[in-house]
DNA sequence: TTTAGGATGAACT
DNA sequence: GTTCATCCTAAAA
């Protein structure tokens, strides 16, 4: 039997729904933050909306590496977003983590996002969750099987809704966004 | 409640 | 010079 991590070697559109329900653990100076993944999007090198579409560059090179690594990119001059690299080594694809349900270390998350009052708004967006978990370019290329940023597979299979992706302007027809049905921590915009 | 625009910088045309 | 896998605030409806 192959282990759970081998599932990340599939195409991004197949991996993305699988990651719903998994936990993301962040260790910072002896403290622990945990979020449960409730929303994802797939990006693939055959897809015009993907950073990997036009081939490998210094920015997106992690996407072309082995699966299970974190691809963290900087955008809009101020935000980071985090992906789980998937597909075989050499193939540029990844799953964007778009929202987490806060599960542990809420106090620390709030500390990282000072003006946020409602728990709902802590991690319900790809850049928001990176702020809450202090995920920056330092973690680009980090192996998610290990701390200080670790992915924890879960056995339960949640009810999943599939829709088109958010915030892109090309290849908008692909229904490569997945989220947990009725979960209030899914992104709004 | 919904919409419009500003922040802010790296990558791309 | 334009775009960008975003977020937040303020103004309008």
Q: Phi and psi dihedrals of A161, rounded to 5?
A: -105, 140
The pLDDT of residue A1? 54
Cβ(A36)–Cβ(A21) below 8 Å: yes
| Series of mean pLDDT values for 10-residue runs along chain A (189 residues) | 86 98 97 98 98 97 98 98 97 98 97 95 98 98 97 94 95 96 92
Burial class of A157 by CB neighbour count within 10 A (0 to 12, 13 to 18, 19+): exposed
Closest CA to A13 of A165, A178, A176, A157: A176
The pLDDT of residue A3? 81
Cα A145 → chain centroid: 14
Task: Give distance CA A2 / C1' C3 (Å).
Answer: 42
Is strand C in 7 Å reach of the CB of A125? yes
Q: Which of residues 61-90 of A touch strand B (CB under 7 A)?
A: 74-78
Q: Which nucleotides of C are covered by protein (CB under 7 A)?
A: 3-9
**CA of A127: nucleotide with nearest C1':** C6
Spatial separation of the C-alpha atoms in residues A27 and A185, rounded to whole Å: 22
The pLDDT of residue A188? 82
Kindly report whether the peptide bond that precedes residue A148 is cis, defined as omega within 30 degrees of 0. yes
Task: Give distance CA A56 / C1' C10 (Å).
Answer: 41
Task: Give the number of C-alpha atoms closer than 13 A to the C-alpha of residue A61, restricted to the C-beta side.
Answer: 6
The pLDDT of residue A59? 97
The pLDDT of residue A81? 98
Task: Give distance CA A188 / C1' C12 (Å).
Answer: 21
The pLDDT of residue A106? 97
The pLDDT of residue A2? 65
Instruction: Give the number of other CB atoms < 10 A from CB of residue A151.
Output: 22
Closest CA to A69 of A93, A104, A36, A44: A93
pLDDT one-digit tens code per residue, A101-113: 999 999 999 999 9
Non-local CB neighbours of A70 within 8 Å, separated by 6+ positions: A62, A82, A83, A84, A85, A135, A139, A140, A141, A142, A143, A144, A149
pLDDT one-digit tens code per residue, A129-161: 999 999 999 999 999 999 999 999 999 889 999
């Amino acid at each position: 039997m192959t282990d759970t991590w081998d599932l990340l070697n599939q195409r991004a559109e197949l991996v993305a729904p699988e990651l719903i329900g998994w936990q993301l653990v962040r260790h910072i100076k002896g403290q622990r933050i945990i979020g449960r993944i409730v929303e994802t999007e797939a990006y693939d090198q055959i897809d015009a909306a993907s950073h990997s579409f036009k081939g490998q560059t210094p920015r997106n090179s992690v996407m072309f590496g082995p699966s299970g690594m974190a691809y963290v990119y900087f955008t809009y001059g101020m935000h980071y977003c985090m992906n789980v690299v998937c597909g075989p080594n050499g193939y540029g694809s990844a799953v964007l983590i778009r929202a987490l349900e806060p599960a542990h270390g809420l106090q620390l998350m709030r500390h990282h996002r000072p003006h946020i009052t409602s728990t709902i708004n802590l991690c319900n967006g790809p850049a928001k969750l990176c702020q809450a978990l202090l995920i920056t370019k330092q973690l680009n290329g980090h192996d998610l099987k290990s701390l200080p940023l670790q992915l924890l597979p879960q056995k339960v299979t949640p009810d999943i809704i599939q829709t088109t992706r958010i915030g892109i302007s090309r290849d908008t027809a692909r229904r490569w966004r997945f989220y947990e049905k009725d979960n209030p921590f899914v992104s709004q915009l």
